[in-house]
Structure 1
């Protein structure tokens, strides 16, 4: 029989010769290493083995451990591959961090993200991504508290028949929590103000907002002598700091710009909505997934809802200063009146039939009331409520604006 290379017997013989050259012939470790073309370290190893177990201990030993503690159970590897396929098909994040999160949620011990990546690569499930800017070159701003800054923007998405819609979003800067995600046709200034108020009714008022310079957010670049728009008037009345990005620098609103990519990736994996109502149902489903089932690397693998609820929330400046005005949202009825309860009785305030159906913002401090139209910011009425009357006639009173600190208490749809 032909031998294609040295077998285990010849290897043992050479190792025995090396050992005996030192122990019997008196060669030094260095001399034996040079003569037989091995390292000094290997000679030391052989000598130690020989002294511990004789010539039988010189047989070549495998360096592979008898039990590989890092070997992934086949069912776990199968689940890693199936999660990758399922999440990708659904338009969701399917990276190693997300897969590890889903494994843990299913009660499966998750291997390291590098191991998950290796399994995906071996299965041909990794698509090479274009080179990204090094993280060290990015200077990211992040609010220190939930509700410190709300970012807002809208993006376009077509219905099944090609009709264009605009999806308005409010995103908490600190936690990435998606506060609101609603489709309109189109987004208007009134829609922005009403969505903001509805969102604030549920989550409390933010200390500030960050948007681009679109006309639904600001009139600063509208030209002419126009004053504030609806959203600006609303924030001014509530003493909320308004921040707008520099023109031509969308990276200022980088979080919500990246969020739009995530949203559209998910929508692309869903059946195209037939109606605006269908699309909004999809968006509400997405909002739950995004907030509750999508861990974020920048949040130390927490979900947005976990990050949003993890610490105390910021409030507007006047709330920190102990302001006493409360805010309420309402709509003028068809007879031109609004109602509120004072001292246990329902009071009715006349505004005029010309304003029937208008959405309003009421600032209330004890008996002093200021009523403004949500869409325009126009002050419709200022009055001091007369406790002796259920109906308040149209009389004007102008409280000093510098005394009008605002604290959010509650709103009513």
Structure 2
């Protein structure tokens, strides 16, 4: 029997006064009066504890917003995108809805059974993370494996700006080669400008220092040295150095898993183009205070290579030597033909052009095949 019933019976059956019952059961006389009033109005059942829940909750999240939160959770997860409370709040705000706090969104997701408890994670305060101070200060690059619908293994090459997480390039190849890396870097830098440095692992497409040679450079190393770009490589067996792009690969694969399996490289690259648009312009990034990479990249001054002849004067071109040992280059609105030599016919080359100065290297090996200053009075630039 509850204490409230015992007090009522002590007054009504045992004849105790209100003051005596209050003293005996260590409650106030006002509370005894209230219990007797309830008893006379509704019997013993009326003296049981009542719910303290308010009749109305003015600040309660409207049902339509709660429904929208649950719907966004499912939609984002189905698309392979982040669907945490902070991301859902960002999408609600972007769509013009009233935005509850992230703790409220988390409670709604818990109540709907949409959050799976996880083991306690390592505290963020224990992580010491490097971040470039400006866009183009450091570009990280790496490639990861993916499978087409028939199981064919392909490789996806990525270049990521360290400061803004802006995805500069994301393309699938079969396989990624040194020439592919050079060409992709050349295309990205022609559009976004030259970075001050790069950060990669020690794969042979990035460096030849562990290839067993005698200090030679590959094409990527030669290109960076010619442009005075600092090349940084992580320690062997320590992928945490390239942590941002390693984490990016998880985001990329999670999104690809939510898409129909691509049957060809063309289909996969179409998907990667769509992902790049979403990642750069439509997906808020937690490490960027919920801003998009494009917003951060485009709204800050860009870093430059130290002491490099930088800016619009630099041109980077890739080509292939023809059967007669020549390549062509447009200068001052006229097509110039540059002699390399028949011994180098069909080799892929990289041309670095600054005003009239041209450096031509073999893309795969990094060997410098020719350096020249264009004679503006001649169409054919003979070997000297």
In the superposition, the TM-score normalised over structure 2's length comes to 0.83
- Pick the aligned partner of 2:67 from 50, 74, 78: 78
- Offset of 1:34 from its aligned partner? 9.3
- Pick the aligned partner of 1:242 from 226, 231, 235: 231
Moved over 6 A (4+): 33-36, 62-67, 321-325
Give the alignment of 1:249-288 within 5 angstroms: 249-288=238-277
Q: 1:324 to 1:151 in 2, by over 3 A?
A: closer
1:294 is aligned to: 283
Instruction: Please report the RMSD computed on the Cα atoms of aligned residues, expressed in angstroms.
Output: 3.0
Give the alignment of 1:2-81 within 5 angstroms: 37=26, 68-81=57-70
1:17 is aligned to: none
- Offset of 1:169 from its aligned partner? 0.8
Q: 1:351 to 1:78 in 2, by over 3 A?
A: same
- Offset of 1:357 from its aligned partner? 4.4
SS across alignment from 2:270: helix
Corresponding position: 1:102 with 2:91: yes
Q: 1:358 to 1:67 in 2, by over 3 A?
A: farther
Corresponding position: 1:339 with 2:328: yes
Q: 1:131-179 deviations in whole A, cap 9, x for unaligned?
A: 3211111101111111111111111111111111111111111111111
1:127 is aligned to: 116
Q: 1:123 to 1:105 in 2, by over 3 A?
A: same
Are 1:146 and 1:172, in contact at CA under 8 Å, matched by a contact in 2? yes
SS across alignment from 1:236: helix
- Offset of 1:6 from its aligned partner? 5.6
Aligned residues: 353
Q: 1:82 to 1:194 in 2, by over 3 A?
A: same
Which has the higher mean CA deviation after the structures are superposed, 115-124 or 343-352? 343-352
- Offset of 1:75 from its aligned partner? 0.8
| Gap runs ≥5 in structure 1 | 11-20, 22-32, 44-61, 396-413
- Offset of 1:70 from its aligned partner? 2.5
Q: 1:130 to 1:182 in 2, by over 3 A?
A: farther
Are 1:100 and 1:111, in contact at CA under 8 Å, matched by a contact in 2? yes
Q: 1:366 to 1:193 in 2, by over 3 A?
A: closer
- Offset of 1:358 from its aligned partner? 3.6
Corresponding position: 1:233 with 2:222: yes
| Gap runs ≥5 in structure 2 | 9-18, 32-50
SS across alignment from 2:307: helix
Are 2:137 and 2:197, in contact at CA under 8 Å, matched by a contact in 1? yes
2:360 is aligned to: 371
2:16 is aligned to: none
Give the alignment of 1:104-253 within 5 angstroms: 104-225=93-214, 227-253=216-242
Q: 1:319-359 deviations in whole A, cap 9, x for unaligned?
A: 4x779973331314534333334445432212234444443
In the superposition, the TM-score normalised over structure 1's length comes to 0.77
